[in-house]
Amino acid sequence: MNALSFLQQVDENQERILRTYEELHCMPEPAWKEFRTTQYVAERMRKMGLKVIAAKPTGVVGFWRGKSGGPAVGLRADLDALLYHDGQEETAVHACGHDAHTAMVLSTAEILSCSGFYPPGEIRFLFQPAEEKAAGALCFIEQGFLDNVDYLVGIHLRPAEEARYGQASPAVLHGSSLVLEGTIYGQASHSARPHLGINVINAAAAVINAINAVSVDPRVPASAKVTRLQAGGEAHNIIPDRALFTIDLRAQNNETMTELRDKVERAVKAATGTVGAQVDMKELAYVPAARVDEEMLEKARWAIREVMGEDGLLPPIITPGGEDFHFYSYHLPRLKSIMIGLGCDLVPGLHHPQMTFRKDALLQGVKILGLIILKLLNGS
């Protein structure tokens, strides 16, 4: 199969691609509970004749092995939806485009497998759970689904302020994000005798000031801020002896994140010590920053030009948001990976429960993914 033939096949399957998206959109499931979605994707891949292996507890991988000796290429999508409170109930909503990502990767697999194409190598279609928990990629790595994969491609819808319909970026350069939780321990006493206690609110105030004073190289985007603080109870005349706080850290590269974390942890311990309090800290969540592979960058640029023309090709998008996709190259250094950013006039923004976008952009996404696969396998 050549590039022109694949592009024609996408146009001919437009209705099926959009219907696939609508079906997935109607079954939103939160992280680690993507049971219906997993079953849906698995059944579709079995009908394609792919070898299908279920992940634990959710997620699924389709294996398509062709001629031996060629590279192994992976296409990755995420399955989970987000939870929102609707009155008294919690409702799952696809507000980050994971239904769209799954539809594009599944449709790419379907068009390639039904066209008589026989890959000179191997293609793996990876549908991972729990991206929103920053845990699905690690789960797939631990279960060996990325073993011996040479190239990995992902795709993500982008908000309108980053990319409009008819535009795409060859790489979304997510930053590293880290959430730390701290517990401050003081000494309770009557508020009339504060000298007998250690007030954790004073310690927390010192922590906030210390974190705000932390600095790293200003040429690299980075931030650290307290995002939650809880201390004291209903009684107003007790010096509180315990406080809970969280710190959100962001950095555009992994080296800066390491430096920032070290400085923040030292600042927190020093600050609590100024009032005689103690502090324990633990990591709640972490994702690494993107790493750019120049070979993958060039192949992605080529595919976008073929689909959207030179005017539709954007530079790499730098964003402070995090993505667990980057765990793959972080833990598997030999893996060459890229995440495409697809413009689709998405408003009002990712993670908004009323998020909407132009559905016909999915056809462009399928075309880009298919061309990258053909380029990686055929080399021309």
Torsion of CA 232, 233, 234, 239, to 10 degrees: -40
How many C-alpha atoms does 207 have within 13 Å on its Cβ side? Answer: 34
- 96 known member of a binding site: yes
Residue 247: which of 218, 211, 279 has the closest Cα?
A: 211
Beta strands (DSSP E) in the chain are 51-54, 60-65, 72-78, 82-86, 89-93, 122-128, 151-159, 168-169, 172-174, 176-185, 189-190, 222-231, 238-239, 242-251, 278-287, 317-319, 336-346
Taken as a whole, the chain contains a residue count of 380
Distance, in Å, from the CA atom of 131 to the CA atom of 156, rounded to the nearest integer, reads: 12
Residue 56: which of 134, 142, 154, 132 has the closest Cα?
A: 142
- 351 known member of a binding site: yes
Say if residues 343 and 166 touch (Cβ distance below 8 Å). yes
Distance, in Å, from the CA atom of 124 to the CA atom of 51, rounded to the nearest integer, reads: 10
Distance, in Å, from the CA atom of 73 to the CA atom of 55, rounded to the nearest integer, reads: 19
- 98 known member of a binding site: yes
Known binding residues for Mn(2+): 96, 98, 132, 156, 351
Known binding residues: 96, 98, 132, 156, 351
